[in-house]
Structure 1
């Protein structure tokens, strides 16, 4: 599963922003602002795709599947960032 396959740069930024915002809501207190949320969402999409593939989980194709995978990856990424912020 390759995140963002077939999407343009605007769609990638929008999906990344939504995924980053959702992750910030799920993991309270770790929001990073609009640019940070987009970055976490885009990077989280790759983390989520890798992690879900390793676990053998398929969340679906298309926009919803990409958004779910990106959000899961962004949540994992925010938790990791939160550990380093507290140290």
Structure 2
């Protein structure tokens, strides 16, 4: 039996950013997905939500993505949907 409660944290790193991602899940009868992404990365909300919806059938899942600059950045970031799906799978 797999637990429906869990927490995971990982950090993706680029030459200009650290991108911490935290995922938590608790048991609930219905599915509730809460996604928190940086304001300047609002376009990530829908793909993150879609990946989580494809991996869970019930429960409350919270996904938090942060963005930490390591040096001056030009704003060209891409969401790695495979890595995010992998994190959701580990949850």
Global fold match (TM > 0.5): no
How does the TM-score come out when normalised to structure 2?
0.32
Q: Which one has a larger percent helix, Structure 1 or Structure 2?
A: 1
Tell me the TM-score normalised to structure 1 length. Answer: 0.33
Q: As a proportion of its length, which structure holds more strand?
A: 2
